């Protein structure tokens, strides 16, 4: 081993363990951050471009966090898109003009998000059914429920609320919201619940035998996931000004891709919330860079898919080469 | 440990390389000017050179065409269905014409592929990129209102066609009336049956703006004709297989004199069901879906009568023409409702046979006169 690799090895050894695990995500993030800045130089010229951009990135970031939460306990949530649509319709029918009406609507949306998580988590754990089947089934239920609440785009979002989300302050509200939720997660992660979530994702049987309440932990993970999802719905309704029973559909698969890009693993127990946020950034930055590059949209799909495979594939390769200890 | 780290680092570098090579490739074609802009510049430069050679004025036409060219984007919710492909082709031809004249310097298409929130982002990006006009085929009647309002408040012209938004702040809307679609179909069926008979009204999914509009238009006409007896009103998604499923039991149980099908696939399914059961030919109205037109044309000699309305693909062309008019400062109407073209037994032979596939929507080209007529204010 020569001097150069030695110095890099000592550099990576000095990094805190959790950052080391995310190093690949950091590098991809930096590359796409630079690419995004080159392709959309307006960001550097005008700070006000931050607001539409934050609204563009925030819903997927929150969805990736929501998806990440389920992936940590070894599951996958195929109903995320449908439940997101449902949450936007709930927000649009529960919000009313005035501070009280707006806050009431926000609370109602967050509570329904958590209720959605509670219902699915309960069925998964007590029904002893695989997450993939249960969430697939629930995607139909949430879809139907969304159409029952609003059969077509509509409802009412107070203009003061969307104005607040889009108003130009010091830092976009959507970014503050994500930071707050990251802090919230950080606190949870260091409690017994957080440790249990990582533990049951890693090995549910061993966790059970060592006295962890596996079922309760899993249900709580689903509830937290629902909370993140409803946060995404609140950003979306602020951006669109209405509830839409189909708007969430695209987020289902995107959230899985973003979580994987951000370092989560299908096998559970691996991944960090800040990785999910970065993964979502990378995912949308790929789309944006391709948009600004002016390629025909059909080529954009092909290139986008190729980049996703490259980025995720290399991460997986590095994971197996290290004998599967942490990605 | 060291060996592991080296391999790991190598993989990271590979990710980095793959990603940065893409960024570089994007950067070289994009950066200051995007690919389309570069192409447009070459075209206009070549054009300018020709004009320069002809007029023998070296510099002027070049700078003129570069200064005056508009940057126009089309944001569409879908691009892959055949109706959209056809629309896109017609728009391209129109755009090429204006590019050659130097009126349009840059044109790009953003395809949201069914994702409304992606469409919002794409429109945001177009605003940021300084597009002069955005042509819009909307994925949601309400969810795009805010971003459209933002665009127009920043001086971007937004011309919306086909699937329309509800905000009044959109610069212009060009479309057809769903109720008119229903009225035309129902009126034809009433006339063909001589104002008397047992019919089925076959509509699209309930709770969807398009099918509700068509159905209420049809009902308006049918209710004026007391001798027309509506056996039942059926709802199905716009797809042949589920349509046949709901229609078959009704056809089995009743004497049916005509079917008021309010959609191409519904009409196609109705005709197939009638043929399968070996029933007498009854009048069925439909849409200009090529597969249906072919079935119809084959059955003309058996006495099959039909009537096909069209959602014209050249609505996109009107949107391009209208954007340029508005950017040029000409007067315009905010809402342009285009009369619905129709095909009946008399002019069917103008459309079939043709060389297109079954999922094509044959339609007569729009003429210069029609463009003038529809887009002139107060028309």
The CATH number that applies at residue B127 is 3.40.50.2300
**Residue of B43 and B352 predicted with greater confidence:** B352
pLDDT given for residue A12 in this prediction: 55
Using CB atoms, pick whichever of B14, B118, B208 lies closest to residue A250. B118
Q: Inter-chain contact B26–A244, Cβ cutoff 8 Å?
A: no
Between B2 and B192, name the one with better pLDDT.
B192
* Beta-carbon contacts below 8 Å between A and B: 182
Is the confidence at residue A81, as pLDDT, over 90?
Answer: yes
Query: Based on the structure, what is the number of domains in chain B?
Result: 2
Token pair for residue B243?
Answer: 């349509």
Domain boundary among B257, B289, B309: B309
- The average pLDDT across B249-276 equals 91
CA angle B232, B234, B236 (to 5 degrees): 175
Question: Among candidates B13, B132, B187, which has minimal Cα distance to A8?
Answer: B13
Mean pLDDT value of segment A116-132: 94
What SS3 class is residue A174? helix
The per-residue pLDDT for B209 is 74
Give the pLDDT score at A16.
67
Quick one: pLDDT at residue B284? 95
Quote the pLDDT of residue B136.
96
pLDDT tens readout for residues B288-341: 988 889 989 999 998 899 999 998 999 999 999 999 999 999 999 999 999 999
Greater pLDDT, A295 or A259: A259
Whether the pLDDT of residue B21 is over 70: the answer is: no
Residues B200 and B320 in one domain: no
- Fold for domain A50-321? ABC transporter involved in vitamin B12 uptake, BtuC (1.10.3470)
Q: Which two tokens stand for residue A52?
A: 């539409």
> Does B353 reside within a domain?
no
Instruction: Closest CB to B207: pick one of A1, A152, A291.
Output: A152
Q: Are residue B84 and residue B185 in the same domain, yes or no?
A: no
Mutate to test the interface with B, among A17, A47, A293 (most CBs of B within 10 A): A293
**Six-digit token string for A89:** 């319709």
pLDDT at A196: 92
- Binned at pLDDT 50, 70 and 90, residue B66 comes out as very low
Domain that holds residue B119: 69-176+313-339
Same domain (yes/no): B172, B199 = no
pLDDT of residue A153: 83
pLDDT over 60 (residue B33):
no
Cβ atoms within 10 A of the Cβ of B227, count?
A: 10
Using the Cβ of A203 and the Cβ atoms of chain B, whether some distance falls under 8 Å is answered with no
Q: What's the average model confidence in pLDDT over A275-296? A: 87
Asked if B145's CB is within 8 angstroms of A242's CB, the reply is: yes
Residues in chain A: 327
Domain positions in chain A: 50-321
B143 pLDDT above the threshold of 60: yes
Interface contact flag, B209 A152, Cβ < 8 Å = yes
Within-domain flag for B38: no
Interchain contact, A291 vs B125, CB within 8 Å: yes
How many C-beta neighbours within 10 Å does residue A306 have?
12
Give the closest of A52, A239, A322 to B4, CB-based. A322
In the block, tokens 């094509």 appear at: B360
Whole-number pLDDT of residue B64: 38
Q: What is the pLDDT of residue A314?
A: 65
Q: Judge if B225 and B302 occupy the same domain.
A: yes
Give the mean pLDDT of B239-264: 90
H/E run at residue B342:
strand B342-344
Distance from CA of A307 to the nearest CA of B (A): 7
Nearest to B14 among A6, A42, A314 (CB): A314
Report yes or no on B15 lying in a domain.
no
> Which pLDDT tens digit goes with each residue over A230-276?
999 999 999 888 998 888 988 998 999 999 999 898 888 889 999 99
Candidate from B6, B116, B145 with C-beta closest to A5: B6
- B36 pLDDT exceeds 60? no
Nearest to B162 by CA among B60, B266, B232, B74: B74
Task: Tell me the sheet residues that pair with B134.
Answer: B73, B158
Is residue B189 domain-shared with residue B293, that is, in the same domain? yes
- B169 and B188 together in one domain: no
Residues B270 and B182 placed together within one structural domain of the fold: yes
Question: What CA–CA distance (Å, rounded) separates A66 from B270?
Answer: 46
- Residues B203 and B278 reside in one and the same domain: yes
Give the mean model confidence (pLDDT) for residues A152-156: 85
At B357, is the secondary structure helix, strand, or coil? coil
Give the pLDDT confidence score for residue B44 in this predicted structure: 40
The lowest-confidence range among A175-179, A187-191, B11-15, B372-376 is B11-15
**Nearest residue to A11 (alpha-carbon basis) of B14, B6, B15, B16:** B6
**pLDDT above 90 for A218:** yes
In a domain, B64, yes or no: no
Distance CA B50, CA A122 (A): 73
pLDDT tier, A9 (very low <50, low <70, confident <90, very high otherwise): low
- Kindly indicate the confidence band of residue A11, based on its pLDDT and cuts at 50, 70 and 90: low
- Gap from A144 CA to chain B (nearest CA, Å): 13
**Is B143 in Cβ contact with A240 (below 8 Å)?**
yes
- For B245, the enclosing helix (H) or strand (E) is helix B240-253
In a domain, B140, yes or no: yes
Mean pLDDT on A297-314: 80
Q: Is B111 in the same domain as B95?
A: yes
Cα of A61 to nearest chain B Cα, Å: 14
**A294 close to B (CB below 8 A):** yes
In a domain, B32, yes or no: no
Whether B22 shows a pLDDT value over 60: the answer reads: no
Assess whether pLDDT exceeds 90 at residue A121.
yes
Reduced to 3 states (helix: H, G, I; strand: E, B; else coil), residue B133 is strand
B333/B239 same-domain check: no
A131 in reach of chain B (CB within 8 A): no
pLDDT at A31: 87
Q: How confident is the model at residue A195 (pLDDT cuts 50, 70, 90)?
A: very high
Domain end residue (candidates: B309, B330, B353): B309
Q: pLDDT value at position A322?
A: 59
CA quadruple B298, B303, B309, B310: dihedral, nearest 10? 10
B160 membership: H or E segment, kind and range: strand B157-161
More confident residue, B379 or B260: B260
Q: What is the mean pLDDT of residues A102-124?
A: 96
Composition of chain B by helix, strand, coil, percent to 5: 50, 15, 35
- pLDDT band at residue A107, thresholds of 50, 70 and 90? very high
**CA gap B142, B139 in Å, rounded:** 9
Question: Is residue B44 situated within a structural domain?
Answer: no
Query: Which of B30, B92, B165, B170 is most worth mutating to test chain A (most A CB atoms within 10 A of its CB)?
Result: B30
Beta bridge partners of B206: none
Q: Is residue B131 part of a domain?
A: yes
- pLDDT band at residue B99 using 50, 70 and 90 as cut-offs: very high
Q: Which two tokens stand for residue A295?
A: 């390629």
Q: In sequence order, which residues have a C-beta less than 8 Å from that of residue B269 and are 6 or more positions away? A: B236, B240, B241, B243, B244, B247, B261
User: Among A9, A40, A297, whose Cβ lies nearest the Cβ of B110?
Assistant: A297
Give the span between the Cα atoms of A325 and A313, in whole angstroms: 17
Counting other chains too, the contacts that B152-159 makes at CB distance below 8 Å and 24 or more residues apart are B154/B127, B156/B126, B156/B127, B156/B131, B156/B132, B157/B132, B157/B133, B157/B323, B157/B326, B157/B327, B158/B133, B158/B134, B159/B133, B159/B134, B159/B135, B159/B319, B159/B322, B159/B323, B159/B326
Distance CA B39, CA B104 (A): 12
Residue A232, burial from CB neighbour count under 10 angstroms (0-12, 13-18, 19+)? buried
A34 to chain B: nearest residue by CA? B23
Mutate to test the interface with B, among A9, A10, A237 (most CBs of B within 10 A): A9
Cβ within 8 Å, pair B116-A240: yes
């Amino acid at each position: 081993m020569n001097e150069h690799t030695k110095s890099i090895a000592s550099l990576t050894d000095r990094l805190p363990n959790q950052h080391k695990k995310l190093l690949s995500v950091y590098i991809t993030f930096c590359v796409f951050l630079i690419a995004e800045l080159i392709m959309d130089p307006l960001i550097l010229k005008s700070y006000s471009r931050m607001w539409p951009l934050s609204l563009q990135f925030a819903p997927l970031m929150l969805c990736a966090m929501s998806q990440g939460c389920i992936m940590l306990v070894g599951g996958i949530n195929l109903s995320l898109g449908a439940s997101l649509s449902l949450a936007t319709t709930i927000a649009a029918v529960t919000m009313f003009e005035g501070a009280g009406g707006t806050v009431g609507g926000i609370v109602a949306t967050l509570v329904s998000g958590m209720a959605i998580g509670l219902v699915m988590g309960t069925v998964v754990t007590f029904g002893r059914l695989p997450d993939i089947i249960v969430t697939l089934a629930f995607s139909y239920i949430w879809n139907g429920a969304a159409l029952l609440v609003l059969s077509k785009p509509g409802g009412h979002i107070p203009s003061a609320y969307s104005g607040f989300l889009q108003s130009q302050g010091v830092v976009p509200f959507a970014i503050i919201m994500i930071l707050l939720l990251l802090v919230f997660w950080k606190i949870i992660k260091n409690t017994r619940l957080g440790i249990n979530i990582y533990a049951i994702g890693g090995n549910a049987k061993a966790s059970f035998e060592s006295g962890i309440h596996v079922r309760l932990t899993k249900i709580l993970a689903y509830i937290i996931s629902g909370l993140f999802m409803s946060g995404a719905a609140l950003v979306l309704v602020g951006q669109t000004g209405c509830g839409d029973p189909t708007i969430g559909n695209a987020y289902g698969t995107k959230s899985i891709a973003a979580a994987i890009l951000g370092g989560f693993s299908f096998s559970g127990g691996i991944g960090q919330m800040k990785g999910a946020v970065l993964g979502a950034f990378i995912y949308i930055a790929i789309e944006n860079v391709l948009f600004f590059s002016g390629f025909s949209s059909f080529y954009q799909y092909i290139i986008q898919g190729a980049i996703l495979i490259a980025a995720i594939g290399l991460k997986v390769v590095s994971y197996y080469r290290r004998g599967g200890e942490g990605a | 440990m060291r060996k592991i780290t080296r391999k790991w680092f190598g993989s990271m570098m590979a990710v980095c390389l793959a990603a940065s090579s893409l960024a570089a490739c994007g950067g070289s074609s994009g950066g200051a000017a995007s690919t389309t802009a570069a192409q447009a510049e070459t075209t206009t430069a070549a054009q300018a050179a020709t004009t320069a050679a002809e007029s023998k004025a070296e510099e002027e036409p070049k700078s003129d065409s570069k200064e005056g060219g508009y940057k126009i984007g089309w944001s569409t919710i879908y691009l892959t269905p055949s109706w959209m492909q056809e629309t896109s082709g017609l728009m391209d031809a129109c755009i090429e014409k204006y590019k050659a004249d130097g009126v349009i310097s840059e044109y790009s298409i953003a395809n949201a592929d069914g994702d409304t929130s992606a469409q919002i982002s794409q429109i945001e990006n177009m605003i940021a990129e300084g597009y002069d006009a955005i042509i819009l085929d909307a994925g949601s009647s309400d969810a795009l209102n805010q971003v459209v309002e933002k665009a127009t408040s920043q001086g971007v012209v937004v011309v919306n066609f086909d699937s329309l938004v509800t905000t009044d702040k959109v610069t212009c809307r060009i479309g057809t009336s769903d109720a008119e679609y229903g009225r035309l179909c129902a009126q034809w069926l009433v006339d063909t049956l001589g104002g008397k008979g047992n019919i089925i009204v076959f509509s699209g999914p309930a709770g969807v703006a398009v099918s509700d509009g068509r159905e209420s238009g049809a009902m308006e006409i049918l209710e004026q004709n007391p001798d027309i007896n509506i056996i039942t009103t059926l709802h199905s998604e716009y797809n042949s297989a589920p349509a046949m499923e709901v229609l078959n039991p009704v056809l089995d149980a009743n004497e049916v004199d005509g079917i008021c099908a309010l959609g191409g696939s519904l009409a196609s399914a109705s005709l197939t069901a009638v043929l399968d059961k070996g029933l007498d030919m009854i009048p069925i109205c439909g849409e200009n879906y090529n597969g249906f037109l072919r079935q119809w044309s084959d059955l003309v000699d058996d006495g099959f009568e039909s009537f096909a309305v069209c959602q014209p693909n050249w609505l996109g062309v009107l949107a391009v023409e209208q954007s340029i008019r508005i950017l040029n400062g000409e007067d315009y109407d905010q809402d342009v409702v285009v009369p619905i073209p129709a095909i009946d037994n008399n002019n069917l032979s103008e459309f079939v046979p043709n060389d297109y596939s079954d999922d094509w929507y044959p339609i007569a080209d729009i003429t210069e006169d029609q463009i003038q007529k529809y887009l002139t204010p107060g028309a």
